[in-house]
Structure formats: C-alpha cells, structure tokens
Amino acid sequence: MRIIIDLHTHSYYSDGALSPRVIVCRAINAGCNYLSLTDHDSVEGIEEAEKFAKTRNINFIKGVEISAKYNSQSIHIVGLGIDSNEKILLDGLQRNNQVRIERAKKISDGLRKVGIHGAYEKARVLSKTDYLTRTHFAQMLVKEEVCHNISSVFKRYMTGKKPGSVSVEWSSTIDVIKWIHQAGGIAVLAHPYRYKMSLTKLRKLVRDLKMEGLDGIEILNSFSKSKDIAIAKKIADENKLLYSCGSDFHGWPNQTIELGNIPKYDLGVNSVINFL
Ligand code: AMP
Ligand code: MN
Ligand code: MN
Ligand code: MN
C-alpha cells in the first residue's frame, strides 16, 4: 500500500483559507497517512490540528514554514517535528511577524501610489486571523477585479520593481535553522525549484545551508516534474540531506492543489518520516 505523506500545508493561521481542523479532516479524506501543518512564521494552528488528529487515523507532525534571508533573497525553511512552545522559536517567529506587519503597510503605501486605496484594510478583512501575507493582498486584488488571478497580481504588483514590491529583512538562514533545532525539529529547504536560481546558485545555497545545519530538502511537491525531482534528489544526495515532500496546500477556492496529491515517488530510507 502506498503511504501518502503531506508535510507542507497552510491554514488560515497564515495564508491558507481553511481552519486547522478542516485541513486534518480533508487530509484524512484524501487518504493521507502523515500530515504536517506548516503555516508561514506561525505555530498558532498546531494545537487545534493536533487535538483533532489525535483521536483519528492520521499521524500529525508539528511544523512551521519560516521565512529567511539568504543574501538578498527570501528563502523558506520548513521545520518539522518541532516543539511549538519552545521560547527561542516563538521569539524568532514573533520577530518575523513584526517584519511582516511593517511590510504589509509598505505594500499598501506602494499600491496607493498607483490608485489602489485602502489595500491594508481590505486585505485584513480577508484574513480570518491576525496574519497578513502577500497572498491576502493578491486575493483582495482578484476580488476587487484589479487582476484576473493570483499569479497576475504577483507579476503586475508584487515582484521585482512593481508598486507593491517591498524588500524584507527576514531573519538569517543560520538563525532560522538554529530556532528549529532549538525546538527539536528537522530543518528542510522548501520548494528548491521555486527560487529562480541557476543550478550552480542552487547548489551553493544548499551547500551553505548544510554548513548552517540544514537537515533535508523538499524534493517533491504538487508541481514537481520528474526533472525537478531528479535535480532536488541529486543536490540532497550530494549534501547527505534527508528527503521531504508536501503539497503546499492553501485551500483557496481558485487553487488546484489538493492535500496529499503529490507525484508518486518512494522517498525510501532517506525519508524525513524515519527521523521524526
Ligand atoms: P509572504 O510569506 O507574505 O511573502 O507570501 C508568500 C506566499 O505568497 C507564498 O507562500 C505563496 O503562497 C504566495 N505566492 C508567492 N509568489 C506567488 C506567485 N507568483 N503566485 C501565487 N502565489 C504566490
Ligand atoms: Mn503561502
Ligand atoms: Mn513557501
Ligand atoms: Mn508553503
């Protein structure tokens, strides 16, 4: 029997649309054997998810996806098997969230300059919790019919030199990996193919992170093509890193990603699951 593992998902405690409880429920219905909730810079949904999963037939792993800075680029590091009450981790996440609030205000200021008013307040309305991410701004601009879809919002307003693009001082990768280890977790580089880096740069990133203590790489997610999987696996092997996988499910109605729906691939002995 195939084991279905989804170690990368988001609830409305970051930029997902659903509650932690609904995510666990939906993961069970999708046949997931292992599930982690990995909200951006937040562990607030974990207790609810864990409680709900406890009496049901699914292995729940406490997780988080932390934003970090590598040179001038944003990198995502997933922490798996963390103690979500660990003080150093919580302090770090709080710092990142302070940065997040300041950035949201700057995004809103940038959008105002091109005639989009009240973006901060309107994006806030879309967030069911206190968390405000770029996804909320994107969902808001689609709702307001400024753009047809999320990816066109990112292209037209929130990347490069566009009006809602703001550089962010996330904590360094070395600090983020430390927080995860301090909380007893495994540090995994999320979606390596998504950083728009040449293969040489990606290899250097992974080598540098390995020196900082990185434990694994997400070699599979919803959109991984066989070429992406092969590259990620090769870089993981070169650096003796574990393999992880996750859908990066967010649950918004206009998205096609589904929990547990990841390309079929046997993670084998290097699977992070064996070390959690
Ligand atoms: P933030 O953590 O606030 O910077 O928001 C990052 C989130 O925005 C990512 O986790 C994705 O969910 C989403 N995102 C980033 N770039 C894109 C894109 N080009 N298209 C759709 N969603 C994106
Ligand atoms: Mn996201
Ligand atoms: Mn990510
Ligand atoms: Mn994610």
Distances (CA, A) of 91 to 5, 33, 84, 262: 29, 31, 11, 33
Both tokens of 8, joined, read 């990368």
List, in sequence order, every residue forming a beta bridge with 252; answer none if it has no partner: none
Q: Which amino acid is at 122?
A: K
pLDDT at 130: 85
Determine which residue's CA is closest to atom 2 belonging to ligand 1. Answer: 133
**Residues above pLDDT 70, as percent of the chain:** 100
Residue 64 DSSP SS3:
strand
Average pLDDT, the chain: 96
Give dist(CA 130, CA 179) in Å, integer. 22
Helices (H), 116-213: 119-126, 134-143, 150-153, 173-182, 199-211
Determine the pLDDT at residue 164: 96
pTM of the model: 0.97
Confirm whether 158 is domain-assigned: no
- Of the candidates 254, 251, 255, 248, the one whose C-alpha atom is nearest the C-alpha of residue 23 is 251
Which residue's CA is the closest to the ligand 1 atom numbered 16?
Answer: 154
CATH number of residue 228's parent domain: 3.20.20.140
Residue 208 clears pLDDT 80, i.e. is over it = yes
Secondary-structure breakdown of the chain: helix, strand, coil percentages, each rounded to the nearest 5 = 45, 15, 40
In a domain, 19, yes or no: yes
Task: Return the closest-CA partner of residue 13 out of 69, 73, 68, 84.
Answer: 84
pLDDT at position 2: 84
Tokens of 210: 């390995």
pLDDT band at 207 (very low <50, low <70, confident <90, very high): very high
Q: Parallel, antiparallel, or unpaired for β 34-37 and 5-6?
A: parallel
Instruction: Say if residues 217 and 243 touch (Cβ distance below 8 Å).
Output: yes
Over 90: is that where the pLDDT of 134 sits? yes
Q: How confident is the model at residue 204 (pLDDT cuts 50, 70, 90)?
A: very high
- Mean pLDDT, residues 137-158 taken together: 96
Q: Is 15 in the pocket of ligand 1 (CB under 6 A)?
A: yes
Residue 217 pLDDT exceeds 80 = yes
Map tokens 């390309």 to a residue: 263
The band of 21, judged by pLDDT with boundaries at 50, 70 and 90, is very high
In a domain, 261, yes or no: yes
Q: Does the pLDDT of residue 1 top 80, yes or no?
A: no
Cα-Cα-Cα-Cα torsion 99, 103, 105, 107, nearest 10 degrees, comes to -170
**Per-residue pLDDT at 52:** 97
Q: Is the pLDDT of residue 254 over 90?
A: no
Q: What is the mean pLDDT of residues 73-84?
A: 97
Ligand 3 centroid–CA 42 distance in Å is 13
Residue 42 in contact with ligand 1 by CB distance below 6 A: no
**High-pLDDT (> 90) share of the chain, %:** 95
Confidence check: pLDDT of 45 > 90: yes
Q: Residue 55: inside a domain, yes or no?
A: yes
Residue 147 within a domain: no
What's the pLDDT score for residue 253?
Answer: 87
Domain containing 39 equals 5-84+184-275
CB neighbour burial string for 31-69, b if at least 16 within 10 angstroms, e if fewer: ebbbbbbbbbbbbbbbebbbebbeeeebebbbbbbbbbb
Counting ligand 1 atoms within 8 A of each CB, the residue from 154, 168, 169 with the most, and so the one to mutate, is 154
In angstroms, rounded to a whole number, what is the distance separating the alpha carbons of residues 228 and 262?
A: 13
**Number of domains into which the chain is organized:** 1
Mean predicted confidence (pLDDT) in 214-242: 96
216 within domain boundaries: yes
